[in-house]
Structure 1
Amino acid sequence: MYTPDDLKLAKKLLEHSIELKEGENVMLQLIGLNGIGLIRALAEETRNRNAHPFIKLEDPETNRILLENGDDAFWQNQAITDQLPLMKQMNAFIGIRGAENIYENSNVSSEANKAYSDKFLNPVHFEERVNNTKWAVLRYPSAAFAMNAKMPTERFRTFYYDACLFDYNRLHEAMKPLEERLRKTGIIRLEGVGTDIEFSVEGQNWIPCYGKRNIPDGELFSSPILDSVNGQITYAPSVYQGKPFEYVKLIVKNGVVIDFDSSNNQALEEILNTDEGARRFGEFSFGLNPIIREPMYDILFDEKIYGSNHLTLGKDYEIAPNGNSSSIHWDLVCIGANVYFDGKLVREGRNFIADDLLGLNIDKLTAP
């Protein structure tokens, strides 16, 4: 029916992530049947808490057909007829991404992706679900997922549950000195191979993430002052809208991407041309999960990589806004850059060197 690990994860999601209460409505969405055991565990545990599960099972290949053939009118009708009214009745949401082919949507056109984002994804998820429910999203392990991570399948399953079931309360305590420093910081600079970029975060809000919205988790994010970003930044491998990128390099002036290079420049240019906000940045974050150490072509893991940062193209979050509006939100990850706060080095490579931040290093977070 389901594994003991699935039951542990289901309990963590319901108790820690969304703090489900008796009588509440929760949407349990699974894309790809690979995670059906976790859905079963979640459904059973939800009813054990006298709460109400609403199950949505989706097939990735069918979703691709809809994406390829959808337009503004189609997605607007999908939103207002089905998903948006239901989401408005939810107290909580858990989304499980169990699809095995990360390139399933690689042939979907930029116009079709934009229609989906503008008329469905933004109103249903970014505006309603993100702002008005207790929510969490996660991937589910598979042989294909293990292959992307370059691990044997069973070793990957162990890694997956170690990362997802990490002691996030411990991580939250370790984050607090970094959050305190960031709230007093004006200028952040990243400097590394192919990267030398700086921007202002003065007065911005900072949000610690410790298992309440993503599983696995472990980041501390805000957004840069919109027109303050200047320099160049080189990112690790990424997949966005089903399109793979072995690297992405951006040249930025006064907050706008003015030049770029990548392993797939045609696809990158299409993404950057989505709208005006697609060439600007809506988020900056520190990756802090000590279990996740290498990129695996999955942003829910990669954005949490220990010793990383992501400077995100596109839409900001209302909880930490900078005024950028876009149909895209692409969390591109830079790993191992030196980090300076107002000219002072606080992280060298992937290790913090400031005395009050040493608790965020691997040896401290994973110590017995």
Structure 2
Amino acid sequence: MYTKEDQQLAEKLLDHSTELESGQNIMLQLIGLNGIGLLRALVEQVRKRDAHPFIKIEDPEMNRVLLEEGDEDFWANQAEVDQLPLMKQMDAFVGIRAAENIYENSGVPKEANNAYSKEFLNPVHFKERVEHTNWVVLRYPSPAFAMNAKMPTEKFRNFYYNACIFDYEKLEQAMKPLEDLLRKTDLIQLKGDGTDIQFSVKGQNWIPCFGKRNIPDGELFSSPIIDSVNGHITYAPSVYQGKPFEYVKLEVEDGIVVDFDSSNNSALEEILDTDEGARRFGEFSFGLNPVIKEPMYDILFDEKIYGSNHLTLGKDYAIASNGNSSNIHWDLVCIGPDVYCDGELIRKGREFVKDELKGLNPDAF
């Protein structure tokens, strides 16, 4: 059995996000049994569209054991024998992250995370899935997820579906003036509490996101010219590789992190030392989902917070590349800085002030 909301979400994932067609192959990956109702709805809807579901159900605790015990040879074999050949035959992919403990992998050693990222995550997901399928990933609501959001369970459930089953067509239209402006922009500056940083985006590609690759969605992203980033930035709470950070502060010179502070400096230093690209930035984005207001330790939601920006450490996306290569991609979110484009204030705190951009403010929805 599954709920009416799960059926509505499944239909949006297949029709809007992956644009699934008759005869196509689609991988449906569920990590954590909490989302089994949505998976059932997806399987039923895939077959109604005369397409072919390939189902991967994974247990988060088993995955943790594999991460802890795996090395480069293990993950290279997993990729070569199992998931990479299958992924190469996929036209579409839906990934449901339904694990209830976001800290499950907090004790996985740095070397083990690096081995997984290098030999499995990068070839299977970043190279094959991201570049060659119509893919979408999402979290699934749970009491544990509600606790991280500091909401009652039922209130969070309603919030979740409001954020996910959203009028993305309206958001798509509202994004266009901002995209047009950014394509003409050279220098972007963020100024706020603990943040004063600038960088060039001259000639970079900009990608509007309105429910095609993430659910919930609502962002407009590119990447900074790799050596142009200078200043300091303070980020909201974040969890990366199962490790919690109440805050992260970075000092940047010519595109490289030269100093840092956080609530967990030993873990932060390990992440920054992953490889050369881990101290550089591979993405810059505007968060634009008017339903999502506060961080909840889940980046698929937090990076979409309205009035936010994320300046991402690590690997770029091929579709908006700046040449940065890394085994990490950490979307760190800065909430509410003033944003200047070539010296002009376009957003004051969390509200756009330029007339043609006011359609992105929450009261417009």
TM-score interval (norm. to shorter)? over 0.9
Superposed CA deviations along residues 16-65 of structure 1, whole A, max 9, x for unmatched, are 00000000000000000000000000000000000000000000000000
Matches within 5 A, 1:39-188: 39-188=39-188
Distance of 1:356 and 1:217 partners within structure 2: 21
Superposed CA deviations along residues 260-303 of structure 1, whole A, max 9, x for unmatched, are 00000000000000000000000000000000000000000000
What CA RMSD, in Å, does the superposition of the two structures yield over aligned residues?
0.2
The 3-state SS of whatever aligns with 2:320 is coil
Match of 1:28 in 2: 28
Distance of 2:113 and 2:310 partners within structure 1: 22
Q: Which amino acid aligns with 1:85?
A: P
Distance of 1:58 and 1:153 partners within structure 2: 24
The 3-state SS of whatever aligns with 1:131 is helix
Superposed CA deviations along residues 58-111 of structure 1, whole A, max 9, x for unmatched, are 000000000000000000000000000000000000000000000000000111
Match of 1:218 in 2: 218
Distance of 2:279 and 2:82 partners within structure 1: 32
The 3-state SS of whatever aligns with 1:173 is helix
Matches within 5 A, 1:290-329: 290-329=290-329
The normalised TM-score by structure 2 is 1.00
Q: Which amino acid aligns with 2:196?
A: D
Distance of 2:24 and 2:268 partners within structure 1: 42
Report the alpha carbon displacement of residue 332 of structure 1 after superposing the two structures with TM: 0.1
Report the alpha carbon displacement of residue 12 of structure 1 after superposing the two structures with TM: 0.4
The 3-state SS of whatever aligns with 1:234 is strand
Match of 2:335 in 1: 335
Distance of 1:196 and 1:153 partners within structure 2: 37
Match of 2:230 in 1: 230
The 3-state SS of whatever aligns with 2:75 is helix
Matches within 5 A, 1:11-26: 11-26=11-26
Superposed CA deviations along residues 295-341 of structure 1, whole A, max 9, x for unmatched, are 00000000000000000000000000000000000000000000000
In the alignment, structure 1 residue 3 sits paired with structure 2 residue 18: no
Superposed CA deviations along residues 179-228 of structure 1, whole A, max 9, x for unmatched, are 00000000000000000000000000000000000000000000000000
Distance of 1:151 and 1:199 partners within structure 2: 37
Q: Percent identity?
A: 76
Tell me the matched-pair count.
365
Report the alpha carbon displacement of residue 250 of structure 1 after superposing the two structures with TM: 0.1
Q: Which amino acid aligns with 1:16?
A: H
Distance of 1:111 and 1:340 partners within structure 2: 40
Distance of 1:293 and 1:62 partners within structure 2: 33
Distance of 1:48 and 1:157 partners within structure 2: 27
Report the alpha carbon displacement of residue 161 of structure 1 after superposing the two structures with TM: 0.1
Report the alpha carbon displacement of residue 240 of structure 1 after superposing the two structures with TM: 0.1
Gaps of 5+ in 1: none
Runs of at least 4 residues off by over 2 Å: none
The normalised TM-score by structure 1 is 0.99
The 3-state SS of whatever aligns with 1:54 is strand
Report the alpha carbon displacement of residue 140 of structure 1 after superposing the two structures with TM: 0.1
Distance of 2:190 and 2:287 partners within structure 1: 14
Distance of 2:205 and 2:19 partners within structure 1: 24
Q: Which amino acid aligns with 1:33?
A: L
Match of 1:191 in 2: 191
Distance of 1:360 and 1:148 partners within structure 2: 27
Distance of 1:31 and 1:352 partners within structure 2: 37
Distance of 2:139 and 2:194 partners within structure 1: 30
The 3-state SS of whatever aligns with 2:309 is strand
Distance of 1:291 and 1:4 partners within structure 2: 21
